[in-house]
Amino acid sequence: MAALKYKPIHIIFYVFSLIFTFSANSSKAELPRLLQPAKPDGTLSFLAIGDWGRRGSYNQSDVALQMGEIGQKLDIDFVISTGDNFYDNGLLGLHDPAFQDSFTNIYTAASLQKPWYTVLGNHDYRGDVGAQLSPMLRALDNRWVCMRSFVVSADIVDFLFVDTTPFVDKYFVQPNKHVYDWRGVLPRQTYLNNLLKEVDMALRESTAKWKIVIGHHTIKSAGHHGNTMELETQLLPILHENDVDLYLNGHDHCLEHISSVDSKVQFMTSGGGSKAWKGDVNYLDPEEMRFTMTDKDSCRFTFRKPNCVPSFMMFLDTFCITGRLTRRRFILLHNPNLNRDVLFMNYDVISISCFDKFYFQITL
């Protein structure tokens, strides 16, 4: 049975150039659950993108182009959005042209015409939240699947999407000039208590070999926003108790892979689907920082033996990193401009592809 955990799952993060039931709140005893079938061979491929909706500007269109190409090569099954779907202030309503200008008319490749499982970010809460949650948007584009919190079950892996914005105190006590749409969230503490119970229940009842949790806000990050204290104290203990393998987020506009010295949880940031923050990196324990990138000229790897982690792919400008589950552990980097291979042991990705300027191949 243990061998089943090593079935391949392809996870792809795109960062700057890493049957549906809709619910307006999470007050129910059980989170909405969607079924996502795997391929006949048991594999699953998908893209993940965060912080993207800028009507094609700030490299959003360039990222979409590369997503289409990689999506076709990997025959993806769906796309994950980690939130901040529409800048700067979400959607104004159901008929806001930003939905088509930033989504439908941007991600036009045939390979991207798959379900987009989407959570809300803090910028989305500055607009009409009900518009993004409304099933009426599916009449405009049937790919759109947006809920506050829900579960996607796909055989060997369960994806749990969590509404993280209501956890953050400053949006309530120091909103500055911003106005947030808290309909469906107030009273806040009741909403959060119910949500934490539902998350814990969904993870405890999961029989999947892999458990992946998605939220907009960081738990661990060396980026501009850094760690989100409220999630560290309220959500992270639940992830630890339920043996979650990976937490995937946006919010910080960079690419990161951070491990944990005290648990199996891995942390990955994909938060620059249209705009990255060049050089905005803070200190993080070198024992935990595995990889960080804020632009295509700023990249840092740390190679050390990790806990086993699901495969992943991250994208920054024209830079792409991919990986997948495996028992074998070695990494081969190839740069055709230098015509040289470099071998590193004990890392857990399968391939790194650098478009335009570089190409890296990691083989496990």
User: What digits encode the pLDDT tens for the residues 99-130?
Assistant: 999 999 999 999 999 999 999 999 999 999 99
225 is catalytic: yes
**CATH placement of domain 2-327:** 3.60.21.10
Backbone torsions φ then ψ of 334, nearest 5 degrees: -125, 125
Of 64, 6, 33, 2, nearest to 329 by C-alpha is: 6
DSSP 8-state secondary structure symbol assigned to residue 85: -
Of 108, 133, 109, nearest to 120 by C-alpha is: 133
Alpha helices for 7-100 (secondary structure H): 60-74, 98-99
Confirm whether pTM is higher than 0.95: no
154-187 exposure pattern, b = at least 16 Cβ within 10 A, e = fewer: bbbbbbbbbbbbbbbeebeeeeeeeebbbebbee
Given 10, 123, 217, 225, the catalytic residue: 225
pLDDT tens for each residue of the chain, 364 residues long: 444 454 555 554 443 333 333 333 434 468 999 999 988 887 788 888 899 999 999 888 888 888 888 788 878 888 999 999 999 999 999 999 999 999 999 999 999 999 999 999 999 999 999 999 999 999 999 999 999 999 999 888 899 999 999 999 999 999 999 999 999 999 999 999 999 999 999 999 999 988 999 999 999 877 767 789 999 999 999 999 999 988 999 988 777 778 777 888 888 888 778 876 666 666 666 667 666 655 544 444 443 333 333 333 443 333 333 433 332 233 333 333 333 333 332 233 333 333 222 222 222 2
User: What digits encode the pLDDT tens for the residues 341-356?
Assistant: 333 322 333 333 332 2
Dihedral sign, Cα of residue 316, residue 321, residue 325, residue 330 = negative
